[in-house]
Amino acid sequence: MFVDLLSDTVTRPTEGMLRAMMKAEVGDDVFGEDPTVNALEAKCAEMFGHEAALFCPSGTMSNQIALRVHTRPLDEVICDEMSHIYQYEVGGYAVNSGLALQLLRTPNGILSADLVEAAIRPRYDWLPRSALVVVENTCNRGGGSVYPLETLCQIRAVCQKHGLLLHIDGARIFNALVACGGTAAQVGVLADSLSVCLSKGLGAPVGSVLIGSRAFITEARRVRKVMGGGMRQAGYLAAAGIYALEHHIERLHEDHLHAQQLAKALAEMPWVERITSPETNIVMFDLKPPLTAAIFLEKLLEHGVRAASFGPRTVRLVTHLNVSPEGVKHAIKTFCRLRF
């Protein structure tokens, strides 16, 4: 048996999803003529309470476009040091948009309105201009942590008070919504833009959607084109996204349950030093020295379980569509067998 807990990006399309892709109606989306892409964009905009949306090849591109459209060169973006835009987008904020980041430090990647407000710079010629706040919901490095709706409202209020914009990196926003019980529109209206991944927990093979006002998306289309992200008969991919939105949101609670089962078993293991209770589909834990993540992951893989290293002694497990209850049992049995 092989259980892949490396990431929720490793999922394969289901039969139903493949069928939806095969029979998609398509056109040239650079001319705005792909009916399936248009349907996906309209669906996402409506779900999140915004005017418009844009189908992008990746979450990285969605975020990079948002940074570019919301800012000018020499602006500063306030975000957590765990943020994807800082950690995993190759420093694109600097090259694509000429930005600096102000990194805030929190235990789990969840900013508070007070932290954000304290980070906003006064307007002097010699300081970067605070222009945008980016929050990540759920926060990957934070262990799949979720923003309480109340915290987002407070951050929104601080942004409005000081004339800053707010972007939500919602690669796993549906995991957050399933965990906290809010609606997409409740969260959506708080942000000037959101990026939502279809290729993570939702199980589509490719794609992300950037959501915002009509004016924002009009400009975002131009930036997507200059980044090389204008796709032609992209409806085949958009069809997978529509299918995922219709069939794969409600099941996310199973992934969350699986993450809790894995975490509960790990908490009993003598080689685990620290583990926090997972809020969504990500389990992050530290190994007791001298055990290293490299050695641990190698042993795990010998038993057919794959996971990721997130530091010298930190390991991440992610549950998803292709992790079955039997897979979880197999992983737990493997944990019990390992001796270090």
Ligand X SMILES: *Cc1c(COP(=O)(O)O)cnc(C)c1O
List interacting residues with ligand X (CB under 6 A): 58-60, 63, 84, 136, 140, 169, 171, 197, 199-200, 208
Nearer to ligand X, 84 or 256 (CB): 84
> Do residues 318 and 296 touch, judged by C-beta distance below 8 A?
no
Q: Which tokens sit at 235?
A: 């409806």
Q: Which tokens sit at 160?
A: 């409005």
Q: Give dist(CA 80, CA 110) in Å, integer.
A: 8
The nearest distance, CB 130 to ligand X, in angstroms, is 22
Helices (H), the chain: 15-22, 35-47, 59-70, 84-87, 92-97, 113-119, 149-162, 173-180, 184-188, 214-226, 235-247, 252-267, 293-302, 325-337
The nearest distance, CB 171 to ligand X, in angstroms, is 3
Nearer to ligand X, 10 or 249 (CB): 10
Do β-strands 208-212 and 52-56 pair in parallel, antiparallel, or remain unpaired? antiparallel
Q: Give dist(CA 98, CA 104) in Å, integer.
A: 20
Nearer to ligand X, 120 or 172 (CB): 172
Q: Cα dihedral angle (41, 42, 47, 53), rounded to 10 degrees?
A: 40
The nearest distance, CB 170 to ligand X, in angstroms, is 8
Nearer to ligand X, 56 or 158 (CB): 56
The nearest distance, CB 82 to ligand X, in angstroms, is 9
The single residue listed with the structure tokens 């973006």 is 77
Nearer to ligand X, 60 or 334 (CB): 60
Q: From 36, 41, 38, select the one nearest 23 (Cα to Cα).
A: 36
DSSP state of 133: E
Nearer to ligand X, 7 or 292 (CB): 7
* CB-based closest residue to ligand X: 59
Q: Give dist(CA 108, CA 140) in Å, integer.
A: 9
Nearer to ligand X, 193 or 208 (CB): 208
The nearest distance, CB 168 to ligand X, in angstroms, is 10
The nearest distance, CB 50 to ligand X, in angstroms, is 19
